[in-house]
């Protein structure tokens, strides 16, 4: 086999990460149950900045700018943490961050990366909350063109 062919032989796995215990459980579950040497893992993070400007009735542009900068700093630190996680486990792959609706972003990144599988956690929202708020895992499950594994962490 040629050198380049070997690089593409591994599976491409997208794992949704948001810093929650549910996402961490999903990553650990993937590592324990289905990880194979040679997998290329894309850890995807969708920062949610909408909370920054939803708090202000009167807009103080300096305060808003400070809040946005703080959120961006937290995002950079979290992405560095995810990159360290890949190194720690000795996994080939990368970390991506994209803004937008998390479910839509996860599905789009899986398509762009030509993923073989998506792994995500479930927060276990009740029927009423899921009906009104929607569920990232439900969206991914129903819109993905590749298999999806949804892990359920019992708190």
Question: How many of the other CB atoms lie within 10 Å of CB of 8?
Answer: 9
pTM summary value: 0.80
What is the per-residue pLDDT across 71-116, written as a single tens digit (0 to 9) for each?
889 999 999 999 999 999 999 999 999 988 999 999 999 999 999 9
Domain 10-152 in CATH 3.40.50.620: yes
d(CA 109, CA 24): 19
State the greatest distance between any 2 C-alpha atoms of the chain, in Å, as a whole number: 64
- Gyration radius from the chain CA atoms: 17
What is the per-residue pLDDT across 49-79, written as a single tens digit (0 to 9) for each?
654 545 555 667 888 788 888 888 999 999 9
Domain ranges for the chain: 10-152
């Amino acid at each position: 086999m040629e050198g380049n062919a070997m690089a593409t032989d591994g599976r491409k796995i997208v794992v949704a990460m948001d810093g929650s215990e549910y996402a961490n459980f999903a990553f650990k579950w993937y590592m324990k149950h289905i990880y194979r040497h040679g997998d290329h893992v894309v850890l995807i993070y969708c920062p949610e900045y909408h909370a920054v400007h939803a708090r202000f009735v009167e807009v103080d542009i300096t305060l808003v700018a400070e809040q946005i900068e703080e959120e961006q700093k937290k995002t950079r630190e979290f992405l560095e943490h995810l990159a360290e996680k890949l190194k720690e486990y000795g996994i080939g792959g990368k970390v991506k961050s994209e803004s937008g609706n998390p479910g839509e972003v996860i599905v789009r990144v899986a398509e762009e990366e030509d993923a073989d599988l998506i792994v995500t956690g479930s927060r276990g929202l009740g029927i009423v909350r899921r009906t009104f708020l929607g569920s990232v895992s439900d969206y991914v499950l129903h819109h993905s063109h590749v298999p999806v594994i949804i892990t359920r962490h019992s708190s």
